[in-house]
Structure formats: structure tokens, C-alpha cells
Amino acid sequence: MNTGPALSPHSAWLLLRGLRTLPLRLQRSFESTRIITEWLASHPAVQDVIWPFSPKFNQADLVSQQMQGCGGLFSLILKHSSFSKIERFCNSLKHILLAVSWGGHESLVVPAIASFSEDEYSADNDHHQLIRMYIGLEDPQYLIADIKQALEK
């Protein structure tokens, strides 16, 4: 305890409890993300989905050689993106929360535009158009329905 941080007994117990189900939670998130990214990639309002297991990912061969799965974090870019369109999409999501605490049980979204003002937005900057999404443990069809209604707005 004199050389660095030490966990309390309760914190250690919570850590062990979470570690016991970690593989199941990661697998569920990965499988749900695969379903959702495939659906998004075929949606006419989506320009690009950036996820290592996407067939269009530029290093998909390397990913398949080195990885068995990954977490539920990916990026998407809407077609004909504008600051207001990105903002409207994110604010229209009813279940997927606007937050950045990746890795929990709930699905989250945060657009790159959350870190700057509309005056700073550049349609020519690919980074400005990124929307980061994390898929948690919810049913993927439930999340797709939420994303679909937001894309229609």
C-alpha cells in the first residue's frame, strides 16, 4: 500500500465478479456488432462503416489471421453528412445513449462533432463526419430499429 494504489476488498470482489462474465459479454457484443454493421453497410443513408471485421475494411485479411473477435466499437459515416444531419441522427436515437463510457452493458454513440462547434465543422474533413458507436448487450434487432428510425429523420 505504500508504493501505489491498492484495491479495497469490495472493489476487488467487483473486479473478480466482472471478470468471470467478461468472455460472454465480449462475445455477445461482437456478435451483435457484426449483425448491426452488416445492416448499416447496406443502408442507403450510410456512406461507410469502419469496423475491423467488415469485409470492406482495408486490412480485413490481416484481421482474420490475427483476431477471433473484437469489441463492439465501430465508426460510421452518413452519406451527404452535415453538422445538422449528424446532430439530428444522434439526438434522434431513443435507446442508444449519447456518452463515451465504452465497454459497459448499454449501447452508446458519440459523434466527432461533439468536440467542436458548428463553425469549426468541415465537410472535407473525414474525421469531422465520424460517428463512433459502441454496441452493448441489448438485442441487435432492437438496436437496429432504433438506428433505423433515427436514420429516417
pTM here is 0.87
* CA distance linking residue 64 with residue 100, whole number of Å: 28
Give me the percent of the chain exceeding a pLDDT of 70: 98
Domain boundaries, the chain: 24-151
- pLDDT of 108-139, one tens digit each? 999 999 999 999 999 888 899 999 999 999 99
- Given the candidates 3.40.50.300, 3.30.300.30, 1.20.1110.10, 3.90.1150.10, the CATH classification of the domain at 24-151 is 3.90.1150.10
The residue type found at 27 is Q
Q: Which residue has the higher pLDDT, 55 or 38?
A: 38
Helix (H) or strand (E) holding 63: helix 60-66
Q: Are 95 and 143 contacting, i.e. CB atoms less than 8 angstroms apart?
A: yes
pLDDT at 61: 80
